[in-house]
Amino acid sequence: MLRVAIYLVFTIGVLLAILFFRVATVGSDPAEWHVDPLNFERPTTPNTYLVASSSLTNQTPDREAPVYSANPTLMAKAFDDFVLSQNSTTRIAGTPESGWFTYVQRTPTLRFPDYISVKFIDLTGGRSTIAIYSRSRYGQGDMGVNKARVEAWLATLVTFEE
């Protein structure tokens, strides 16, 4: 009986290791994850967070986007530099010059991927706004991780707010 229990524990351990390895090394296809944060189909799962101007999107934002008194191209470049300095974060599509890009950020221990699509929008007259859509690839909930990430990233732009 002890031998069966040890075998069972070993088998479960190996299967979990394979599962976590698969999650930690899964690819990020830009065709699937690089979405326009103003125009996408939001899932029913609660593991997403959207900041956008409600007048610019077909979705209901979790928070209304701030308006900035700065050029969107310059803001996009500075924002991209900041985001890429974050741990375990990579840009998988887009460029700061285009003002629309998507990042993957992995959790520290288990390396679960989260995808964050960002778009800077020119409002004319030297003003701009931002749309950010952050979502988890796996699971139903995110324990507030997507919201916390977006709010922290937006805090870096607060000096430009009108």
Q: What H or E segment, with its residue span, contains residue 110?
A: none
Cβ atoms 55, 65 nearer than 8 A: no
Q: What is the mean pLDDT of each run of 10 residues along the chain (162 residues)?
A: 80 74 73 93 92 94 96 93 95 96 89 94 92 91 90 92 83
pLDDT, position 116? 98
pLDDT, position 60? 94
pLDDT, position 25? 67
Q: Which CATH superfamily, name and number, covers 29-160?
A: Kinase associated domain 1, KA1 (3.30.310.80)
Q: How far apart are CA 150 and CA 118, in angstroms?
A: 10
Q: Which residues, including other chains, have CB under 8 Å from residue 50's CB and lie 6 or more apart?
A: 37, 42, 57, 59, 60, 61, 62, 63, 131, 132, 133, 134
How many residues can be counted in the chain? 162
Residue 147 phi, psi dihedral angles, 5° rounding: -60, -45
Q: 119 is written with which tokens? A: 């778009």
Question: pTM for the complete prediction?
Answer: 0.86
Give the domain ranges of the chain: 29-160
pLDDT, position 52? 97
Amino acid identity of residue 32, one-letter, is E
